[in-house]
Amino acid sequence: MSVHVTELDVGGVRIAYRDFGGSDDVPVVLVHGMGGDSSTWNRFATALKAAGRRVVAIDLRGHGRSAHTADYSFDAFGADVIAVLDHLDVTVADLVGHSLGGYAVSVVAHTRPAAVRSLVVEEMPIPIRPGDDPPTLTGRLPSPSELWHAGTSIVKHPRAVFAFDRSMTAPALAQFRRPNPLWWERLSKISASTLVLRGGPGGMVDPARLETMVAAIADCSVVSFETGHSIHRDRYRHFEAVVLPFLMRDDSTGRGPTIG
């Protein structure tokens, strides 16, 4: 498959993305999680293109071919996605994000609601609400599933692991531990048909916050899987069976089909 790599300047930061091609007016934009890169989506991008969709996969700042920087605020990751859409002159897109990438695409969906037709959020650690107790992260030993995920990532995606800017780990953990009231206030602005994918043991989706998130978004459904944090990698066929139909346009409504 021919894939074109483009680099652009976003406020002085080099952001790279891969365009898999296709003529669809509404592209599918894929955004990886922390420590990954756009190559994590190769298999799904191939399936989407075979189904007639145009596909774009982004390397967030500090990942893959994109530059390391001093700014790893979560909203900056969302701005990276918006910059790519603007560079491509895309007015409407379907967005898919895993983990940190899920947060990035959610920022796009509530910042530019008319620009997002369908939204898929896979295993995003949902931001803390005001009044929530912070998660216990510092000093906690990794679980067996987390260790397995880290180890297999090195084997399956070594380039992504070694390109990853580890200096973002501390600010990322700090942001995960702080309440994010603005994100919660803006959730109701999301008008896209939204699908949340939740993993099983080893997953990072808090069930109470998930319930609040689903209630805040007008059109939102949840599909649960038995695997852990990386559903698209570890249970790919199940992931595709759910997400591919969701993203295929329903010509009578102009929206992706609803998953019950």
Per-residue model confidence (pLDDT) at position 133: 83
Rounded-to-integer distance, Cα 33 and Cα 122, Å: 9
How do residues 210-225 score in pLDDT, each as one tens digit? 999 999 999 999 999 9
Per-residue model confidence (pLDDT) at position 1: 59
Domains within the chain, CATH numbers bracketed: 4-247 (3.40.50.1820)
How do residues 100-153 score in pLDDT, each as one tens digit? 999 999 999 999 999 999 999 999 999 999 998 876 543 343 444 444 444 444
Query: How many CA atoms lie within 13 Å of 175's alpha carbon, on the beta-carbon side?
Result: 18
The H-assigned helical ranges of the chain are 42-50, 74-87, 100-111, 144-156, 158-163, 169-177, 181-186, 207-216, 231-234, 236-247
The pair phi, psi for residue 138, each rounded to 5°, is -70, 125
Check if the beta carbon of residue 88 is closer than 8 Å to that of residue 62: no
Per-residue model confidence (pLDDT) at position 254: 43
Per-residue model confidence (pLDDT) at position 40: 94
Residue with tokens 């910042």: 111
- Residue of 81, 122, 89 whose CA lies nearest to 233: 122
Query: How many CA atoms lie within 13 Å of 73's alpha carbon, on the beta-carbon side?
Result: 6
pLDDT < 50 regions, the chain: 137-155, 251-260
